Amino acid sequence: MQHNNNYYNTILGQIGYPLIGVTYSPENISDFGVLILRSSNIQNNQLSFKDNVYIEKQLNDKLFMRKNDLLICVRNGSKDLIGKSVLIKEKMENVSFGAFMCVFRSEHNRYLSYFFQTIAVKRQIDCALGATINQITNRAMNEITVDLPNNSIFEQHIVDIMESVDKLIDSIEKRYKKQELFFDGLLHKVFSSKELISVSLTTIFDFSKGTQINGDELSNQFKYPMYNGGVSLSGYTNEYNTIAPSIIISEGGNSCGFVNYIENNFWAGGHCYVVTTKQMDKLYGYFLLKYHEKSIMRLRVGSGLPNVQKKALNEYEVRIENDLQKQKNIGLILYSYFLLQKSIEKQKNKYKNIREGLLEGLFSGEIDISNLNIVKEKT
């Protein structure tokens, strides 16, 4: 740590205490009763209620969730999930937590909720994990070290900085989702019209596989992106084999069937279909395929390395506007909304990167705000 005299080093056991959650049997599970929070109820440091379990069992009062509890995953089959956490910001009625979870209770939990997202605490948790079981015990939890601000105003200001950034990201995220829903609705309106004609993809597209290159031929120092079987680029190479703009479809892997539009020259790998249009506007063709993306992904076969076969693509049927000029007009309109969505996404990623830098900087001492006129406790 690089903290100055505005911080003091302590352990969690000196400022609060952990509680392991409820043990229950299948017979206790019910459609109603006490909601049991588990690791799946924590998504991106927020509560999620898409996968709920309820039990009917008498519980000690201390095992019910309280406002400002810090809920932490302490045991899981996946090592990466140990330590993921969420701050309980509101009072919750009839809610407890499972035995693979713990709550930490202290007067510093708003601060600690961000501390548990840092690399520093993740390293301590990794060192404390059991040799054969992915778990962190209460004893190990109590021994985690933390640098705390030595007055409450300073601590509050750090929390305020992080919460303000989170609120900004949340507002951008909501704007992005709203635009995403609008755009999906627009695609549906365009490509589900009864006035369209039905064709198979082979009549309007050619699908050709790229050329595989080895991973050791890729470097971040090179200029041209290489796309293969994923949803994003696999790296950079010093050559390109495809001229942009171009439509591609992932041929193999867990993301096979994913449709992308590449606007810079690139290298198409061996698990990537390059899509060439036949008497069709390219933008219109891209949005047509993007609209059908989920269905195209369901064409996959195989289990070890799933893939979408060219024959299945060729035979897949869609409905299209047959007038080329109308295609161009529609493509340009859709592209304008596509660019807006990309702009919001870029803004969202920008502030997420800023947040990451603030989080690590404030909690490591690399970002020093002690000289701001906020750190003197009122008397």
Looking at 300, 320, 340, the residue that finishes a domain is: 320
Among residues 172, 166, 117, 170, the alpha carbon closest in space to that of 146 is found at 117
**350 pLDDT exceeds 50?**
yes
Domain shared by 100 and 234, yes or no: no
Instruction: Give the residue, 198 or 6, on which the prediction is more confident.
Output: 198
Q: Model confidence at 129, in pLDDT bands (50, 70, 90)?
A: confident
**130 pLDDT exceeds 90?**
no
In a domain, 379, yes or no: no
Q: Model confidence at 379, in pLDDT bands (50, 70, 90)?
A: very low
Domain shared by 144 and 236, yes or no: no
Average pLDDT score over residue span 142-168: 93
In a domain, 158, yes or no: no
Domain shared by 215 and 123, yes or no: no
Q: Are the CB atoms for 95 and 59 separated by under 8 Å? A: no
Q: Note the pLDDT of residue 29.
A: 96
Q: Are the CB atoms for 41 and 47 separated by under 8 Å? A: yes
Alpha helices (runs of H) in the chain, residue ranges in sequence order? 12-15, 109-115, 119-128, 138-142, 152-191, 282-291, 293-297, 310-315, 324-364
pTM, two decimal places: 0.82
Domain shared by 228 and 312, yes or no: yes
Q: Are the CB atoms for 61 and 119 separated by under 8 Å? A: no
Domain shared by 143 and 20, yes or no: yes
**93 pLDDT exceeds 50?**
yes
Q: How many domains does the chain have?
A: 2
In a domain, 165, yes or no: no
Q: Are the CB atoms for 343 and 288 separated by under 8 Å? A: no
Pairing of strands 95-97, 34-37: parallel
Q: Which pLDDT tens digit goes with each residue over 256-292?
A: 999 999 999 999 999 999 999 998 999 999 999 999 9
Lowest mean pLDDT of 129-133, 173-177, 220-224, name the range: 129-133
Domain shared by 13 and 138, yes or no: yes
Domain shared by 208 and 132, yes or no: no
In a domain, 347, yes or no: no
Alpha helices (runs of H) in 228-323, residue ranges in sequence order? 282-291, 293-297, 310-315
Domain shared by 14 and 143, yes or no: yes
Q: Are the CB atoms for 7 and 98 separated by under 8 Å? A: no
In a domain, 294, yes or no: yes
Q: Model confidence at 375, in pLDDT bands (50, 70, 90)?
A: very low
**200 pLDDT exceeds 50?**
yes
Domain shared by 97 and 225, yes or no: no
Q: Model confidence at 378, in pLDDT bands (50, 70, 90)?
A: very low
**376 pLDDT exceeds 70?**
no
Say which residue the tokens 């750190």 belong to.
375
CATH of the domain at 217: 3.90.220.20
Domain shared by 16 and 140, yes or no: yes
Domain shared by 218 and 111, yes or no: no
The domain of 258 spans 197-320
Q: Which pLDDT tens digit goes with each residue over 248-257?
A: 999 998 899 9
Domain shared by 201 and 137, yes or no: no
Q: Note the pLDDT of residue 215.
A: 84
